[in-house]
Structure 1
């Protein structure tokens, strides 16, 4: 799917778990973000190379990954301090 350089990237991929949607959350501190999400109720499933796979209490799996578009944060991006 075509997006602006500073908008979220949407990709399609086949997954081997029940959830039909898989989100990747970019963070410059993957471990700290994973711990924050665990404190909110997520369960750590795996650590793979430089990313962490988590599962929400609802069963939705997602990953915390390093930023994929360095220097491309712009007016369409969400940033939390």
Structure 2
């Protein structure tokens, strides 16, 4: 048995200026900028959201800009297996998460549990 839930909306930004991108999305969504350099490598920024809201993450990327979802799970491989059984495919393991592709062609990621407690809206899978 494992658990998962939708946890983040990720804005993939081909433009390398995450400070400007963070400012735009902060104003557009009405959420203050939490940080413009989440991991100290200049690749991730985030907006401040309440504990019961999705995280909003900005990610500097080489591919065209798009939006993708993150699903957090306490067992990454079990969640990837479950989603493959539904028709998704694994694209690759990057750093510490699985990049997946839905049958519709949309990319999404399976990431480690992002907070101490999963909180509400948790799915339990066998």
Question: What's the TM-score, normalizing by structure 2?
Answer: 0.54
Structure 1 21/61 Cα, relative in aligned 2: closer, same or farther at 3 Å? same
Q: Which has the higher strand share?
A: 2
SS at match of 1:12: strand
Supply the distance in 2 between the matched residues of 1:28 and 1:13 (Cα, whole angstroms).
23
Question: What's the TM-score, normalizing by structure 1?
Answer: 0.79
2:86 is equivalent to residue 40 of structure 1: yes
Structure 1 63/41 Cα, relative in aligned 2: closer, same or farther at 3 Å? same
Supply the distance in 1 between the matched residues of 2:94 and 2:55 (Cα, whole angstroms).
21
Q: Which has the higher helix share?
A: 2
The gaps in structure 1 that reach 5 residues or longer are none
The gaps in structure 2 that reach 5 residues or longer are 1-46
Runs of 4 or more above 6 Å deviation: none
Q: 2:101 matched to which residue of 1?
A: 55
Residue 50 of structure 1 and its aligned partner are, at CA, apart by: 2.2
Q: 1:29 matched to which residue of 2?
A: 75
Supply the distance in 1 between the matched residues of 2:96 and 2:106 (Cα, whole angstroms).
20
Residue 12 of structure 1 and its aligned partner are, at CA, apart by: 2.3
RMSD, aligned α-carbons: 1.9
Supply the distance in 1 between the matched residues of 2:101 and 2:66 (Cα, whole angstroms).
13
Residue 19 of structure 1 and its aligned partner are, at CA, apart by: 7.2
2:126 is equivalent to residue 80 of structure 1: no
